[in-house]
């Protein structure tokens, strides 16, 4: 029964990469802040592998990249409003460095979306007018981040009771248990 739940979670995560309106398309990424506290932001889920490695894109000059390089432990929070699922995936983030892979993924980024990774100024820089941002032609600021999951915490809200489960990565598989919510 616990394996069936993990299979269902995997299916829903993968749907988040292929269906634009799926609630798992966007997730909240939490990183350790450079000063104090946590950094939180919404990112787009781009890929989910069979071992549940999550992939998203970003500008390599962004604050989240600095935070990931400093402390690669991250959390990803997903919420499915129709199923009333909350899914938290904890893991280690790594930055893709293989030029061939970067080139392959970049070729799949739609032309109008490429500007998200090509602003001439660093993300977070002050500007006078958002309509006057200058964009570069290169790909040098495009980054791919992979999150290798170590733990998954699942919560399903219900009218009569809630259901909670935890999955921990063990070797190449997952060990799961139901928990008191």
Residue 74 C-beta-side C-alpha neighbours within 13 Å: 32
Q: What pTM did the predictor assign? A: 0.93
Span 2-98+144-179 CATH architecture:
Roll (2.30)
Tens digits of residue pLDDT in 128-150: 999 889 998 888 899 999 999 99
Task: For residues 142 and 52, give the distance between their C-alpha atoms in angstroms, rounded to a whole number.
Answer: 23
Task: For residues 105 and 155, give the distance between their C-alpha atoms in angstroms, rounded to a whole number.
Answer: 33
Q: Which residues pair with 87 in a beta bridge?
A: 78, 154
Tens digits of residue pLDDT in 18-56: 999 999 999 999 999 988 899 999 999 999 999 999 999
Nearest residue to 164 via CA among 72, 87, 70: 87
CA-only gyration radius of the chain, Å: 18
Tens digits of residue pLDDT in 154-179: 999 998 999 999 999 999 999 999 99
Tokens of 154: 């699942």
Task: For residues 120 and 123, give the distance between their C-alpha atoms in angstroms, rounded to a whole number.
Answer: 9
In the chain, where the domains are located: 2-98+144-179
User: How does strand 38-44 pair with strand 26-32?
Assistant: antiparallel
């Amino acid at each position: 029964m616990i394996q069936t739940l993990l299979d269902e979670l995997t299916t829903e995560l993968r749907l988040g990469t292929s269906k634009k309106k799926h609630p798992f398309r966007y997730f909240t990424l939490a990183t350790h802040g450079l000063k104090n506290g946590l950094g939180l932001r919404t990112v787009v889920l781009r890929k989910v592998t069979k071992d549940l490695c999550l992939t998203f894109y970003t500008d390599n000059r962004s604050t989240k990249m600095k935070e990931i390089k400093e402390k690669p432990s991250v959390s990803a929070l997903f919420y499915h409003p129709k199923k009333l699922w909350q899914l938290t995936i904890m893991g280690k983030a790594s930055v893709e460095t293989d030029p061939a892979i970067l080139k392959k993924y970049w070729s799949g980024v739609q032309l109008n979306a490429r500007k998200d990774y090509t602003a001439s100024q660093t993300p977070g820089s002050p500007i006078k007018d958002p309509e006057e941002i200058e964009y570069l032609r290169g790909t040098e600021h495009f980054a791919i981040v992979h999150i290798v999951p170590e733990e998954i915490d699942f919560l399903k809200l219900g009218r009569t009771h809630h259901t909670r489960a935890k999955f921990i990565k063990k070797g190449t598989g997952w060990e799961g248990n139901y928990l008191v919510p």
